[in-house]
Amino acid sequence: MPIVAVNSPLEITCTNTTVALSGTGSAISDVIYAWSTLDGTFSGATDAINATATSVGTYTLTVTKTDTGCSDSKTVTVTKNIPTNRWSGGSWSISGGPSLEQDLVFEENFDSKTDDADGVVEGCSCLVNSTKAVLFNPGHSLIIRNNVTVNGTLTFENNASLVQINDTPSIVNSGKIIYNRTTPKILKTDYVYWSSPVNGAALKAIQTATLYYSFNASGNSWLNANANTIMDISKGYIVRGAGTWFDAGDVVVTASFKGEPHNGVIPVTIVGAGKNNLIGNPYPSAIDGYAFLAANTDVVPGGATDILEGALYFWTHKSAIQLASGIKNGTAGSGAYAYTSDDYSPFTKVGGTNSVTGNIAAGQSFFARGSTTGGQAKFFNSMRLDGDKILDNSSFLKPGSASKTQKTTTTNKIEKSRIWLNLTNTQGAFKQMLLGYMTGATNNYDRGYDALSFNGNSFINFYSINNTSLLTIQGRALPIQETDLVPLGYSSTIVGDFSISIDKTDGALSTMAVFLEDKLTNTTHNLKKGAYTFTTEKGTFNDRFVLSYVDKATLATDDFEILENGVVITSKNKEININALTNYIDKVFVYDVTGKQIFLKSKIDKNELTISNIGNTDQVLIVKVLLQDNTIITKKIIF
């Protein structure tokens, strides 16, 4: 006769939503195990000695001897230790308000504006009873640890948030929410980049009788969609403001997404080989772009999280839309509208341009470039909170306020010193680039830190140059060297006057001087004293400007010299520093005045090298540098 024993009664709590059922059979062989229940639920197998319960109830383990049919059974009761807080209209049943350790039941209508002091409601789970209407107003939030069940209506107005914490709740969401997202004023001919925070929403939920597209990453092409196209989870789409022809005027679009809210771990397929993938925030709340990059970018190619190249690109409208007739002196350009700088604003670990903060709003899609291999990028619920704080969900389409959420000088001991530079003209053309010195970055191309220029601007482009890479965002190594030189490049389809100016700085760059050298005019300008204005023709110009932190005219020629081919050789503090601004170094030779070779290093494959401990100081040395393009530079220095 088999003998059965089971563990003592167990409890389901808000943080432990499943219970491990453990049985103990007899030592007799040739037995089978079977768990059963009349009022509970299982997750996984029930034909082993252990099982998993996902709800309250009575569970029975039966052990049967296969040859005789003899059996023995024991039961265990699973209980629930989660208090229920009920909204009955005007007050909650448990004093002190709801908390993450309570199940919430809305038995009457609820309006966050009038029924909650701070606009934030927290709960373990949420149930909206039939015929009841629950409303969260703009900027307000519902934070739920586990599941949401909607039998009535649960509505989130623009910028409101539904945040869920548990990536794998034992009970999934049930019922539909309504999530409304409103754009700023845009032209009817503008396109907005969207994703859906709910299951089953069609593109017509955004706008009817207009144009719709998805993006084919493999073919690098836009694909036609239609109003009835169901939006795939975590996939991006673009939808025109209104109409299908040359419709004049502007419009404010309010999308109304109705469906079961997305929750938990959500994968999205990323096409590799440097292809651009249009993906989107899948949740009805903002996510942290820093956390998304950290989870899906590996600085080492082929690493465990080597999915993305490490930069995200957001379509933004930096300048206000304006008629050309409203620009003074008739210099607004040849079209009906001025040079309104619609463009892709990149975001990396260094930060973002155009005040892109890294908070990716609900309903927002964006481009992400795949790594060499690509794979499955993942969204997690943990990306929906900054610690225990709710992320700002208002940065949809237009950039958010940098003063609110921009992560600046130090975050978790990560040091950042950054400068944002603008290239503008008086007719509305605009392009911004970011240069940042931060923990973890090097002076070579760094995945996750550097962002290649996406060049979505129709009129101008502006970037820094590292080797052959044109970078809208460039991360560089700490500490900042006063002799550091960063080449800047630009392109323009406009002939005329432009200005380069500082938009903002942080960290050490807030107090350092910043100089711009114009090689064409042979002038150096302190950008901290104001913008530098210059005249340009049409074309691409990658060898005109260099950014530095010390005025070249104040330095001794034996300490600092820029050679014509963009190589800097300095001799200071018993070290020789070589910096190739636009190419990688292959070999370096050092000779004394007799011609004797005293140093050789090959296969450097970097754009900078520091040499020390090569003999006595106060001697004349000859440094010979061979670049990877076979250019040879020879410089006499005093060491």
Band the pLDDT of 563: cuts 50, 70, 90.
Answer: low
Q: Model confidence over 283-304: pLDDT tens digits?
A: 999 999 999 999 999 866 777 7
Q: Specify the pLDDT at position 481.
A: 85
Q: Specify the pLDDT at position 125.
A: 96
119 Rama class: left (phi>0) / alpha (psi -120 to 50) / beta: left
Place of tokens 């690493």: 303
Q: Specify the pLDDT at position 550.
A: 85
State whether residue 559 is helix, strand or coil. Answer: coil
Q: How many CB atoms lie under 10 A from the CB of residue 150? A: 23
Q: Is 400 part of any domain?
A: no
Taking the C-alpha atoms of residue 434 and residue 357, their distance in angstroms, rounded to an integer, is 13
Buried b (16+ CB within 10 A) or exposed e, 4-14: bebeeebebeb
Taking the C-alpha atoms of residue 52 and residue 73, their distance in angstroms, rounded to an integer, is 17
Band the pLDDT of 328: cuts 50, 70, 90.
Answer: very low
Q: Is 269 part of any domain?
A: yes
Band the pLDDT of 332: cuts 50, 70, 90.
Answer: very low
Taking the C-alpha atoms of residue 274 and residue 276, their distance in angstroms, rounded to an integer, is 7
**Tell me, what CATH number does 632's domain have?**
2.60.40.3080
**Could you tell me if 384 and 237 lie in one domain?**
yes
The one-letter code for the residue type at 339 is Y
**Could you tell me if 369 and 222 lie in one domain?**
yes
Q: Is 547 part of any domain?
A: yes
Does the pLDDT value for residue 402 go beyond 50?
no
Range of the domain at 614: 567-638
Q: Is 468 part of any domain?
A: yes
Band the pLDDT of 118: cuts 50, 70, 90.
Answer: confident
Q: Is 632 part of any domain?
A: yes
**Could you tell me if 504 and 384 lie in one domain?**
no
**Could you tell me if 151 and 285 lie in one domain?**
no
Residue 610 is classified by DSSP as E
Q: How many CB atoms lie under 10 A from the CB of residue 291? A: 18
Q: Is the dihedral of CA 519, 462, 540, 563 positive or negative?
A: positive
Does the pLDDT value for residue 320 go beyond 70?
no
Taking the C-alpha atoms of residue 581 and residue 585, their distance in angstroms, rounded to an integer, is 10
- Tokens representing residue 626 in the block: 């061979």
Taking the C-alpha atoms of residue 122 and residue 144, their distance in angstroms, rounded to an integer, is 6
Using an 8 Å Cβ cutoff, are 466 and 450 in contact? yes
Q: Model confidence over 596-637: pLDDT tens digits?
A: 888 899 999 888 899 987 776 667 788 888 888 888 888 878
Using an 8 Å Cβ cutoff, are 608 and 600 in contact? no
Place of tokens 């768990």: 35
Using an 8 Å Cβ cutoff, are 441 and 340 in contact? no
Taking the C-alpha atoms of residue 103 and residue 216, their distance in angstroms, rounded to an integer, is 43
**Could you tell me if 283 and 196 lie in one domain?**
yes
Interval 378-388 mean pLDDT: 91
Q: Is 203 part of any domain?
A: yes
Band the pLDDT of 411: cuts 50, 70, 90.
Answer: very low
Q: Specify the pLDDT at position 112.
A: 95
pTM across the whole model = 0.81
**Could you tell me if 438 and 303 lie in one domain?**
no
Q: Is the dihedral of CA 367, 371, 375, 379 positive or negative?
A: negative
**Could you tell me if 146 and 199 lie in one domain?**
no
Does the pLDDT value for residue 377 go beyond 50?
yes
- Tokens representing residue 83 in the block: 């208090």
Number of compact structural domains in the chain: 5
Using an 8 Å Cβ cutoff, are 56 and 32 in contact? no
Taking the C-alpha atoms of residue 297 and residue 283, their distance in angstroms, rounded to an integer, is 21
Interval 144-149 mean pLDDT: 96
Interval 318-329 mean pLDDT: 46
**Could you tell me if 220 and 359 lie in one domain?**
yes
Among the candidates 61, 80, 99, a domain finishes at 80
Q: Is 524 part of any domain?
A: yes
Angle at 257 between CA 255 and CA 263, to 5 degrees: 135
Angle at 249 between CA 243 and CA 252, to 5 degrees: 75
Among the candidates 80, 98, 115, a domain finishes at 80
Angle at 247 between CA 245 and CA 248, to 5 degrees: 160
Using an 8 Å Cβ cutoff, are 393 and 286 in contact? yes
Q: Model confidence over 517-548: pLDDT tens digits?
A: 999 998 999 999 999 999 999 999 999 999 99
Q: Model confidence over 339-370: pLDDT tens digits?
A: 455 578 999 999 999 888 889 999 999 999 99
**Could you tell me if 366 and 219 lie in one domain?**
yes
Taking the C-alpha atoms of residue 334 and residue 346, their distance in angstroms, rounded to an integer, is 28
Taking the C-alpha atoms of residue 314 and residue 328, their distance in angstroms, rounded to an integer, is 31
**Could you tell me if 92 and 48 lie in one domain?**
no
β partners of residue 534: 498
How much of the chain exceeds pLDDT 90, in percent? 58
Q: Specify the pLDDT at position 571.
A: 81
**Could you tell me if 611 and 544 lie in one domain?**
no
Taking the C-alpha atoms of residue 291 and residue 433, their distance in angstroms, rounded to an integer, is 22
Q: Is the dihedral of CA 554, 558, 560, 565 positive or negative?
A: positive
Q: Model confidence over 215-253: pLDDT tens digits?
A: 999 999 999 999 999 999 999 999 999 999 888 889 999
Q: Is 88 part of any domain?
A: yes
**Could you tell me if 577 and 534 lie in one domain?**
no
β partners of residue 16: none
Among the candidates 28, 57, 80, a domain finishes at 80
